Amino acid sequence: MAAATLVVSLIMSGLTFWAVNTIQQDARLSDTRFGSDLGLLLAANVAPLVGEDNRTELARFSHRFYSSTSSVRYMLYADADGNIFFGIPFSDSEVQNSLSIRRRIQLPENFAEHYDLPLVRQHLTPDGEVTDVFVPLLYEGKYLGALAIGTNPNPTAVASSHLTRDVTIAVFVSIWVMVILGAVFNALQITKPIKELVVGVKNIAKGNFQQRVDLPVGGGIELGELIASFNEMAERLERYEKQNIEELTAEKAKLETLVSTIADGAVLLDTHLQIVLVNPTARRIFGWEGKAIEGTNALYSFPVAVQVELSRPLHQVARGELREEAEFRVTFTEPTNRTIRILLNTVLDPSREIIKGIAVTVQDITREVELNEAKSQFISNVSHELRTPLFNIKSFIETLYEYGEDLSEAERQEFLETANRETDRLTRLVNDVLDLSRLESCKVYHFEAVDLAQPIEQILRTYQLNAKDKGIELLQEIEPDLPSVVGHYDLLLQVFANLVGNALKFTEAGGKVVIRASLVSGPEGGLAKVVRVEIADTGIGIDPEDQAAIFERFFRVENRVHTLEGTGLGLSIVRNIVQRHRSHVCLVSEVGVGTTFWFDLAVYQDEPTIALPSTEPAALAQQ
Ligand code: ADP
């Protein structure tokens, strides 16, 4: 732009200079013409005077001529040799002096012969260009000398010489001023709005739909319309985006709620195997609670066993080599002991061709596995438990049948008693299984007032002999005037039987088993009182890590620790019965010290309202 302006300004200035200069040339030409005409006229008048050597008349005439015109700057007369013999505006003395020092006019060779016409030249003075005219003085065909006359420059030409410069500069400057003004106007009215428009379009392309462009003042109708259309478009896009975002946010919230509430763990990975989304279940399973796990590589974040199992399949899924659902089962010990089932699914784009990510579904099957193991254990236990008494019964009856007559009466009696005991044991086992299934069914039990002293007394009678045999002290501590409770006699009897049976089973000789019943404050220290029942022993105790599991069906610590008889159903039955009484059973135990199981029962009122015992489990409590 600047270069173009410079070129144009230089061309325009040059043209102006040339035009004005041409005018000046013309003025100068007219100067020379005027000078030569004046010289010829003067020469024609003075030649006779010079020829007659009438210098006085010559001087007078010359003075008169000089003073009558302002155009003449000087007048000099030279003889044929070029020596100046008279000049104006020089004084006589000066002439004298000049004559005495013999000033000369340097004329070209044969000036007289060859220059009939005057010789004209110009020289520059501070007042302008002076035109020097040399005219030969001829009289009667004889060359007498030369007349030199200097004429002042034409004042118009003098003025025009400044004009050339001024006009040239003015043209140059005005072009620049016009260009600068034009550029400023352009910048303010067109370039700025267009630049803003360009920035706006870029921002819209980036997704910033809040972008607007200000309308320029007086910037042209087309530009104004363009900007108005742009703003309208941006506004529509913004509205559309807002609506879309609201819909998307609602959808996202729904999906997030769904993902966060499902029981299975869900982890979403991108194709670089980086974790994008994790639901709370997955966090709990993998021990990621409170960790910023999103954005990390799943293969470094999963527990080591999972990393080993999934490394290859995950890469295969990410590369698209494995498209169908893949299932894995992994057991790991860190951060906790767990067995999980993992399902891998590819997340595809709507065209179902490009892989967008990998959905990892995690199911915690630890409990399922444990229960399955416990069930297998139970079946083998039950089979064993059933087989042992059946085998004993069969062998004793066979012996009696085959050799009965050879046996003494006492022996026959003993055999029958043993067979009878084994039948009881078999019945107990079958009953346990049946009881549990009945308790877990929807059967409705009728509750009534039960005086706890009676079932406790009955249990003591049943187990006293057993306790004595084992050398264990079996006691009861029942608070006097204990009110009746809301309960089911037979079910409560079974609870006492199971708990006292366990207490005797797991207590060494010399130990003590106590059944206590007392009146205590109800739940949350309310006014209603409840009866607390405790069965305490001084037995082997239960390890804290087993306390949570012993109420599960089929669970037996002995499966791992010792091999005392049992089915693992006793405490499940107890828990079910106590729950039927709208209470829960708790325990306090210390290995090597003893165990106390306890539960609360609502006091029976005439209008039986059941005061629910505390729902706040104690530190070691189990429901
Ligand atoms: P079982 O028929 O095998 O006794 P239970 O359900 O009654 O089954 O008991 C489950 C497990 O709880 C037992 O195997 C035992 O390890 C433990 N247990 C129950 N009562 C006691 C107790 N009083 N002292 C120590 N351990 C006990």
Q: What is the pLDDT of residues 74-113, one digit of tens each?
A: 888 888 777 888 888 765 555 555 454 556 677 766 666 6
Residues paired with 485 in a beta bridge = 450, 603
Nearest CA to 185 among 226, 216, 144?
A: 216
Give residue-wise pLDDT tens across range 256-294. 888 888 889 999 999 999 999 999 999 999 989 988 999
Alpha helices in 187-220 (DSSP H): 192-206
558 lines ligand 1 (CB under 6 A): yes
Per-domain residue ranges for the chain? 2-153, 267-364, 383-438, 444-622
Percentage of residues of the chain with pLDDT beyond 90: 28
d(CA 322, CA 327): 12
Instruction: Give the model's pLDDT for residue 103.
Output: 67
Q: Which fold has domain 267-364?
A: Beta-Lactamase (3.30.450)
566 lines ligand 1 (CB under 6 A): yes
Q: How far is the CA of 99 from the centre of ligand 1 (A)?
A: 161
Instruction: Give the model's pLDDT for residue 119.
Output: 81
Give residue-wise pLDDT tens across range 173-210. 888 898 888 888 877 777 777 888 888 888 888 888 88
Compute the average pLDDT of residues 245-253.
Answer: 87
**How many Cα atoms within 13 Å fall on the side-chain side of residue 66?**
17
Instruction: Give the model's pLDDT for residue 218.
Output: 65
Domains 2-153 and 267-364 share a fold: yes
Give residue-wise pLDDT tens across range 338-384. 899 999 999 888 887 888 899 999 999 988 888 788 677 667 767 77
Q: Which is it for the CA torsion 349, 352, 356, 357, positive or negative?
A: positive
- According to the 3-state scheme, what is the secondary structure of 313-368? HHHHHHHCCCCCCEEEEEEECCCCCEEEEEEEEEEECCCCCCEEEEEEEEEECHHH
534 lines ligand 1 (CB under 6 A): no
Return mean pLDDT, the chain. Answer: 83
pLDDT at 565 over 80: no
Q: What is the Cα 269 distance to its own chain's centre? A: 17
Model confidence band, residue 622 (pLDDT cutoffs 50, 70, 90):
very low
**Whether domain 2-153 has CATH 3.30.450.20:** yes
Amino acid at 34: F
* Strand ranges across the sheet with 119-125: 84-88, 72-79, 142-151, 128-139, 119-125
570 lines ligand 1 (CB under 6 A): yes
Say if CB 600 and CB 614 are below 8 A apart.
Answer: yes
511 lines ligand 1 (CB under 6 A): no
pLDDT at 614 over 60: no
Model confidence band, residue 141 (pLDDT cutoffs 50, 70, 90):
confident
b/e for 225-245, b at 16 or more Cβ within 10 A? ebbeebbeebeebbeeeeeee
Model confidence band, residue 598 (pLDDT cutoffs 50, 70, 90):
very high
Amino acid at 550: I
Instruction: Give the model's pLDDT for residue 587.
Output: 95
- Nearest CA residue ID for atom 12, ligand 1: 550
Task: Check residues 255 and 215 and name the one with the higher pLDDT.
Answer: 255
Model confidence band, residue 526 (pLDDT cutoffs 50, 70, 90):
low
The residues, ordered by sequence, that sit 6+ positions from 414 with a Cβ below 8 Å of its Cβ are none
Per-residue DSSP letter, 115: -
Model confidence band, residue 535 (pLDDT cutoffs 50, 70, 90):
very high
Q: Which is it for the CA torsion 480, 481, 485, 491, positive or negative?
A: positive
pLDDT at 568 over 50: yes
- Nearest CA residue ID for atom 19, ligand 1: 502
Model confidence band, residue 323 (pLDDT cutoffs 50, 70, 90):
confident
Q: How far is the CA of 282 from the centre of ligand 1 (A)?
A: 34
- Angle at which helix 489-505 crosses helix 570-580, to 10 degrees, equals 150
Structure tokens at 163: 């004009």
Per-residue DSSP letter, 302: S
pLDDT at 308 over 60: yes
Residues paired with 597 in a beta bridge = 535, 587
539 lines ligand 1 (CB under 6 A): yes
Say if CB 450 and CB 488 are below 8 A apart.
Answer: yes
Percentage of residues of the chain with pLDDT beyond 70: 87
Considering only the top CATH level, what class is 383-438? mainly alpha
d(CA 57, CA 40): 18
144 lines ligand 1 (CB under 6 A): no
Q: In the CATH scheme, what is the homologous superfamily, with its name and number, of domain 444-622?
A: Histidine kinase-like ATPase, C-terminal domain (3.30.565.10)
- Pairing of β 529-537 and β 586-590: unpaired
- Nearest CA residue ID for atom 8, ligand 1: 568
